[in-house]
Amino acid sequence: MLNQSDIAQSLRDMGLTNGDIVLLHSSLVSLGKVNGGPAAVIDAFLDVVGEEGTLLVPVFGALGILTDEVKQRPNAVISPCPVGTLAAIGKDAEALCRDHWKAETAHGHDTPYTRIAEKDGYICLLGVDQDRNTTLHSVEALLELPYMNTATRTFTTPEGEEVTKSWKFYPGPHRDFIGLDPLLEPAITRGRIGNAEVRLIKARELFEISLAIGSSDPAFVLCDNPECADCVRQRAAIFKDRIENKESFRLAASSRLAGRYVAEMVENLNRTGVGLVELDFIQGKPWFKWSQEKLSAWISELSEGNIKVSAARCFSVPENAQSIIDLALALGIPRLILPLNDSYSAAQAAANAGLDVAYYNTNQGSAHAAAKLNRHQTAAARTYGMVFNPANFVTAGENPFLLSFKRGRFIRTAVQLDLVDQTWDGRPTVLAGGNAEVKELVSIMRCYNFDGVMTLGGGAAYPGTLEEAVSNFTHLLDNM
What DSSP letter does each residue of 3-69 carry, written as one string? -HHHHHHHHHHHT--TT-EEEEEE-HHHH--BTTHHHHHHHHHHHHHTTT-EEEEE-SS---HHHHH
pLDDT of residue 160 exceeding 80, the answer is yes
Question: Taking the model in full, what pTM does it have?
Answer: 0.89
CA dihedral (430, 436, 439, 443) positive or negative:
negative
- Among 3.40.50.300, 3.90.1150.10, 3.60.15.10, 3.20.20.150, what is the CATH number of 247-478? 3.20.20.150
Per-residue confidence at 343, pLDDT binned at 50, 70, 90? Answer: confident
At residue 381 the predicted structure's pLDDT band, cuts being 50, 70 and 90, is confident
In order, the DSSP letters of 414-478 are EEEEEE-EE-TTS-EESTTSSSS-HHHHHHHHHHTT--SEEEETTTS--SS-HHHHHHHHHHHHH
| Mean pLDDT for the stretch of residues 16-33 | 97
Q: Is the pLDDT of residue 429 over 80?
A: yes
Kindly report which listed range (134-138, 259-263, 371-375) carries the lowest average pLDDT score.
Answer: 371-375
Predicted confidence (pLDDT) per residue in 127-145, tens digit: 999 999 999 999 999 999 9
Average pLDDT over residues 252-260: 98
Q: Which residue has the higher pLDDT, 212 or 317?
A: 212
Mean pLDDT, the chain, whole residue set:
96
Question: Is 347 within 8 Å of 380 (Cβ atoms)?
Answer: yes
Task: pLDDT band for 378, please (50, 70, 90 cuts).
Answer: confident
Over residues 377-400, the mean pLDDT reads 92
**pLDDT at residue 342 in the model:** 74
As a residue count, the chain comes to: 480
Confidence of residue 270 (pLDDT cuts 50, 70, 90): very high
The answer, yes or no, to whether residue 126 has pLDDT greater than 90, is yes
> Looking at residue 344, what is its pLDDT?
85
- C-alpha 142/C-alpha 465 separation (Å) is 34
Does the structure show a pLDDT above 90 at 120?
A: yes
Between residues 64 and 200, the one the model is more confident about: 200
The pLDDT tens digits of the residues spanning 88-117 come to 999 999 999 999 999 999 999 999 999 999
Question: What are the phi and psi torsion angles at 469 (to 5°)?
Answer: -65, -45
Percent of the chain whose predicted confidence (pLDDT) is above 90: 92
Average pLDDT of the segment spanning 153-171: 95
Over residues 49-55, the mean pLDDT reads 98
d(CA 68, CA 363): 73
Average pLDDT, integer, range 75-80: 96
CATH 3.20.20.150-classified regions of the chain: 247-478
Average pLDDT, integer, range 117-133 = 97
At residue 341 the predicted structure's pLDDT band, cuts being 50, 70 and 90, is confident
**Confidence band of 379 (pLDDT split at 50, 70, 90):** confident
Cα distance between residue 153 and residue 380, in whole Å: 59
